[in-house]
Amino acid sequence: MELLQLRYFMTAAHFQSTTKAAEYLHVAQPSISQAISRLEKELDVKLFDRDGKKIRLNSCGILFLRTVENTFENLDKTVEELHLLKATSSYPLTISIWSQSALCSRILIAFSDRYPFVDLKVVPDEVGNYDLALLSRASHQIPSLPSEVIFQEEIFLAVHKNHQFAQHDSLPLENAKDEDFIMLTKGSPFRQIAESFCELAGFVPKVVFESDYADTLHRMLRLGLGIALLPGKTWGSREHSHLKMLKIESPVCIRTIHLAWKPDYKISPSAQIFREFVKQYLKSEFLKATSENPHFGFGVCNEDKE
């Protein structure tokens, strides 16, 4: 059994015609017919029902086609990865993380699983040389580096279901100026984002509790010890029956994640692969999540340190 035989069989099966298969493959029609005949003889089964010059896959052919298609799909993926390996072997990839978001961690883990042959290194914010950086910003905060927005999510005001605000579906953020806030530790990227939204609303939040971890904030919210600004997707869970997520009418509260690079950086093959992977990863993960629930994406992670 040869790959060429299998290719001829698969093409004839798709067209249900040896003539059209020959035209598509730019070979003589007898070559297709002879290859299929040899294949059937080797398998000791007929793969097509024949009516004169017409052919139609029979039940054996349908079963065999399924296996052949999977074989060529896996083979094509392997060839693609071989080309990627050749292209990236001389280009190690260094990613700078300017946000300790669990989303960034998930991206890096998924990328390493998909492309284990890429020599991936991760460095903290603005440390040493790097190829690309993942930045977390409020939509009104412009990165100082060349960048592109690869993801954005709305920020909501989270309150306990028994809070006075819970009777509303939305409100201006300035209405919360006298409330007790629960936030991440001062200086963390999302804390800076949350404070910038409060600043736009004209007040400095009164922070009564802070923590390094997002799940701790959720616990404090569950106890009704304050209110919080929360991302609508990356921190979310569909099981927040104790919370009411309020849409913020003003200011516009959007968090963005940027992929950034140095001004003089010429993107390497490894960096280009990472760039495209991140876009596809976020698109597939969050389209799936938002189709299930418009506000929430992934469940809360114990290590969701923002």
* 158 phi and psi angles, rounded to 5 deg: -95, 125
Q: Give the pLDDT band (50/70/90) at residue 226.
A: very high
> What pLDDT score does 50 carry?
87
- Residue 173 clears pLDDT 90, i.e. is over it: yes
Which residue, 172, 303, 161, 138, is CA-closest to 227?
Answer: 161
> What pLDDT score does 237 carry?
47
- Residue 175 clears pLDDT 90, i.e. is over it: yes
pTM above 0.75, yes or no: no
- Residue 37 clears pLDDT 50, i.e. is over it: yes
> What pLDDT score does 92 carry?
84
Which residue, 209, 199, 219, is CA-closest to 304?
Answer: 219
- The type of residue at 64 is F
Q: What is the DSSP letter of 119?
A: -
Q: How far apart are CA 150 and CA 99, in angstroms?
A: 14
Q: Which residue has the higher pLDDT, 248 or 88?
A: 248
Q: With residue 259 as reference, give the H or E element that holds it.
A: strand 254-260
Q: Give the pLDDT band (50/70/90) at residue 253.
A: very high
Give the burial string for 58-92 (b: 16+ CB within 10 Å, else e).
eeebeebbeebeeeeeeeeeeeeeeebeeebeebe
Mean pLDDT of 201-229: 92
Q: Which residue has the higher pLDDT, 297 or 98?
A: 98
- CA-derived radius of gyration, the chain: 28
Q: What is the dihedral of CA 75, 80, 83, 85, to 10 degrees?
A: -90
Fold of the 90-306 domain: D-Maltodextrin-Binding Protein; domain 2 (3.40.190)
User: For the chain, which residues make up each domain, given as ranges?
Assistant: 3-88, 90-306
- Residue 290 clears pLDDT 50, i.e. is over it: no
Mean pLDDT of 260-287: 83
- The type of residue at 230 is L
Question: How many residues make up the chain in this entry?
Answer: 306
pLDDT tens-digit map of 263-276: 888 888 888 889 88
Average pLDDT, the chain: 84
Fold of the 3-88 domain: Arc Repressor Mutant, subunit A (1.10.10)
Q: How far apart are CA 38 and CA 208, in angstroms?
A: 79
